[in-house]
Amino acid sequence: MSREILIFLIVLAIFSGCITRECPECVCPPCPSNQSHEQLDRIKIIYLIPLNCDDCNLPMLQDIAYELEIKSELYITDAVKRPSALIMKDNRATLAVANSKLNIVTAICEFTGNERACSMRDSINSSNMENCLSKYNISKNSVIFFHTEWCSHCRKMVPWIEKLENETYEFVWIDANDDERMKIVRECLAQILDKRGYVPQFACPANSKLHIGEFRTIDEMRKFAEECRNYSI
C-alpha cells in the first residue's frame, strides 16, 4: 500500500468517527463562555429568617437573587434575631442585615465586587435620598447616629462622637423617641436603618453602610466617618 493511500484512509477514518459520534453543540450545563458573570463569581446567598418574623419580606429576598442571577437558599432559624443574609464567595463569607433591598445589595457589592449588585445599589441609593435629606439640611455624607436616651451603649458612644465632631466630622443625631426627628427616618432613611429599632445604629446615606451596636474603638468610628465623608458616586 502506497504512502498516499495510507494517509487517505487515516483521514477518512478520522472524519468517519466524528460523523458517527455527531459531536453535539453545547448543551446543559451551558458552555463557560455563555455563563453570566455572576455564575462565574460563584456567589451564593443563604437567607436566615428568625422565628415568628413579622416584618420579613420573603418576596424581596427571592427577587434579589433572581435579579442578580445567583443561587440562594432560605432557612428559618432561632440563631438570628432579625432577617440576615449569609453571603458566600470562594470559601469566604460575611453576614449582613437583610432588612432592606439596599442593605443586601450593598453588602453583596462590597463583599464580592459584583458589578450588577453595585449598579443596583447605586440605582436604589439615587439622588432621591439626597434630595430628601436636603430638605432637612442634612448632607448624604453625614453619619446618622440613631439612638435613645435610655440606651447605655448609646451613651458610651457620645464622648467619641463629640470628639470626632470637634475634628470636623459631621454627625446627625436622631432620637428614636423624638417624633419630629423620626420623620427624617421614615421619609429618607427607611432603606438604610434597621426599622426594628435596634440602638445604637450608625448609618451613612452616601455609601449605604450600616453599623449596628457599639464601635469597639474611636478609631473604628473615625474610619466609618472618614469613608462616609469622602464617598461619592
Would you state the cell numbers that stand for residue 95, as one nine-digit string?
Answer: 453576614
Residues 143 and 224 sit within 8 Å (Cβ to Cβ): yes
Amino acid at 96: A
If one counts every other C-beta atom within 10 angstroms of the C-beta of residue 95, the result is 14
Output the pLDDT for position 115: 92
Identify the structural domains of the chain with CATH numbers, from first to last: 33-124 (3.40.30.10), 127-230 (3.40.30.10)
- Between 1-10, 24-33, 40-49, 134-143, the lowest mean confidence (pLDDT) is in 24-33
pLDDT band at 233 (very low <50, low <70, confident <90, very high): low
Radius of gyration of the chain (CA): 26
Output the pLDDT for position 139: 95
C-alpha cell at 77: 432559624
What does the pLDDT look like over 33-75, one tens digit per residue? 344 454 445 899 999 999 888 768 888 888 888 889 999 999 9
CB 69 within 8 A of CB 115: no
Q: Say if pTM beats, i.e. exceeds, 0.85.
A: no
- Quote the Cα angle for 202-203-206, to 5°: 150
